[in-house]
Every structure is written in C-alpha cells, then in structure tokens.
Amino acid sequence: MSKQRINRLIPKALEEVVVFVDSNGGVQSRYMASVAAFGASMLQSGIYATELFYRAKGDGDPRSKIPAIIAKMLGREKFTDCGKEEILDAATALKLAIRTYKKVDNDTSDAAQEVQDE
C-alpha cells in the first residue's frame, strides 16, 4: 500500500464517488459496504473474479461501475490493465472518499422511494 498514491488518488475518487450520492446528499449503506468490501474481495478472489462479481450487479446498479471507476482513477482503459497494488490503493481512496458523505438506510433513499411509489 502506497500512502503517496492513495493521497494522490483521493481527489479523483471524490470526483467519481458522486455516482453513489442521492439527491439528498447521502449514500445508501449498501453502496458504502460494497465500496468498503472491494479491496477484501480483490485479495480473496483476484482481479478477474472481483470484476465479474461487481459488474454482474447490473447496469442500473452503481456498484457495477466500481471496476470502471477504479480504472478511470488510475488512467487506464480497462480494469484488468491495472496492477493489484494500484487497484487496492484506488479502492482505499474510493472508500475514504465515500465516507465523506452521510450514510442513509437502504430503504429511505431516493431509489427505494421510487420503487415504493410504483
């Protein structure tokens, strides 16, 4: 883990983390948990399995964008073009960035309200 790289990536992470923020300025706890678990998933499962797991969430789910966000933060075209240590540092920066927002319950967010209204 490179503290210098993490510090350099935090501003990029703050720009990218807005995909998880709802209109009230909060982030659903499930998104915070997914971002926090990303590094552990990388260590246990590896690059390819982690990418497949997160992308399988579906296009409508912001969690499916985490691998692409990390690749973008690192200036790469594809997630699999990144090194393991780089990915872990970017995931750490993303986790720190998302923690700057207020955590909201999953069932009280904008998205949950839209589903209930249908």
pLDDT per position as a tens digit, 22-49: 989 999 999 999 999 999 999 999 999 9
- The label of the residue with tokens 């090194």 reads 83
C-alpha span between 2 and 19 (Å, rounded): 26
Q: Does pLDDT of 115 surpass 70?
A: no
Domain holding 67: CATH number? 1.10.520.30
The total of structural domains in the chain comes to 1
Domain that holds residue 48: 3-117
pLDDT of residue 117: 43
Prediction pTM value: 0.85
Buried b (16+ CB within 10 A) or exposed e, 29-48: ebbbebbebbbebbeeeebe
